[in-house]
Structures are given as structure tokens and as C-alpha cells.
Amino acid sequence: MTETLFDAYLPLILWTSVGLVAIRFTPPALPRLLGRVLYWFGVPWEVLALARQTDIDQSLGLAPIVTLASLIVGLLLAWLILRWLTPPAVDPAALNRAQQGSFILAATIGNTGFVGLGIIPSLIDQRYLGWAVFYSVTQNVVGTYGIGVFLASFFGRSAQANHWWVQLRDVATVPSLWAFALGTLTRSLPLPAPVELGLHASLWFVIPSAFLLMGMRLSQLQGWKSLRQALIPTLLKVGVLPAGVGIAATAIGLTGDARLALVLMAGMPSAFAGLILAEEYNLDRDLIASSIALTTIALLFTIPLWLTVF
């Protein structure tokens, strides 16, 4: 396991550290530009490559179901904590609507695209990468662009009219979704050797770039004063949810790397997309920023746990 962790942590720590330092010497617009390039080109490129080399079977359809279940459970747990429990770190009476929305988003929506697909390939067998890709696509479409937008709109104040057709358009134009469909449909179609080589080279570009972006974004976070309020969503996001997914996956008969892929994806850090939603809908930015920082640090300690248990 030591060698596996080394292969996963080396690019994570190296490129994130480079991003933390490089942000001081780069144009302010670079993180946003890099994020857009990864969203529209980099991650879809990786998803296309992974989808083409994934063994598709009937059981793979369980991945979206498990993803939806984890989202629902995360929402319910976060809501129950806000409504009925009163831990010292988070007093529901002290949280306004904007803070409540950020609390739920931080506990539910994970960074399965940039961070998840960046780490997973070095931790599981290549044949089971489809489970991670299915989880990521479902999380982005249903979680971030569905539930995430709905929650942000409900708890915050939209800066513009929130029409249903705008949300539908956003879901329909998620590039990773189309890349996954294209990769799945063309699995049996042989491509010229240079094209195949170019697809497989996606990991050499996307993974370092994703971690570089994470380092840049972490260096820009201004939410450290909300660390106490972020402790509970952090525990839910990187502890309770992945453990629950692992138990549920075992109960329905999943084992090995298929189960591990779902557990790892469920335990990814809070998504940077939460900050975007917070900006758009006037939620509490500091709470989400603190959750991103804490869950990213916690990830280094939870991965060995999940590798051992599942």
C-alpha cells in the first residue's frame, strides 16, 4: 500500500505545492483560465480516454444509483444537524440562511472531477475506472448542476432570474457528460495509434493541471475564520459519507476495486464549484472556503483508511 500511496500523493502534494507558490508570480486571471480549460477540454479529454478503456457491464449501472443515494443521505444528514442537533461547533440558531446553504453544499457536493479523477487512476485497477467516471458524471450533473443550484437558489438570493430552462441548458452542455457518452459508444472502434496515444496522454496533462489549480485556489481562500463551523460538514464529507457508501456497496454485493472506487469518490474534498455558487447566490463564502481547505487536508489521512478498510 505504501507504493500505491506514494504514486497517488506525489503528484497531489507536488503540483498543489507548486500552485500555492506559483499564484504569487502569475496573472490574477490564470486560475480562472486554467479552470475553464480543464472544465471544457482537460477533464472531458480524460473522461473520454477512461470511458474507452473501461469494461462496461450490467453492474456498472449501480454507480449512478450509489451516487444519488450518497447525495440524498448527505443532504438529509446535513439538514438534520442544522435542524435538530446542537453540537458546540455548530449552533443552528447562530446560522443564517446563507450560512445554512453553504453548510449543506460543503457537506454534500464533492470535487470528483478535478481531484477525484486525478487521484483515482493510481489507486485502483484500470478496469474499474468506469465506476469512478460514472460517479463523477452523475455527481456533476445531478449534484452540482441540479441539487447544488437548487439549494443555492433556495438559501441565497440569485443575482439574476433563475429560469428552469437555464438549469436544463447547463446540464445538457456539461462537456464531461458528452465525452463519456462518446467514449462509451466508440469503445469497439479502433483508432489510429497516434490518436490512442494522444488520448492516453490526457493523464499527463489533466492530473498535474488539476492539482496546480487546486493549489492556486487554496492560496486564495479567505475563509479561515469559519473553521469551527466547517468542522461538521468536513466530517460528513470525508468521513461519514464515504463510510456509508462503503457499507451500502458491500450490502448490495460490490467488492474489490469497484467498491473502493465509489468510496474514494464519495470522500473527495468539498467542491470548488461551491464557491462559484456562493458568489452567484450570495451564500456564505467563508464557510465553504474553510470546508474546502479542511477536507483537502483531511483527504491525505482518509485515503489510507479507505484503502485498508475497503
Q: Following CA atoms 112, 199, 257, 244 in sequence, which dihedral angle do they give, to the nearest 10 degrees?
A: 10
Q: Which of 107, 150, 112, 154 is nearest to 287 (CA)?
A: 107
The domains located in the chain, with CATH, are: 2-309 (1.20.1530.20)
- CA–CA separation, 285 and 49 (whole Å): 35
109-155 pLDDT, tens digit per residue, is 999 987 888 888 889 988 888 899 889 888 887 888 778 878 887 88
Is residue 274 pLDDT above 70, yes or no?
Answer: yes
Whether residue 293 is predicted with pLDDT greater than 90 in this model: the reply is: no
Is residue 114 a contact partner of residue 31, using CB atoms and an 8 Å limit? no
Tens digit of pLDDT for each residue in 224-257? Answer: 666 788 899 999 999 999 999 999 999 999 999 9
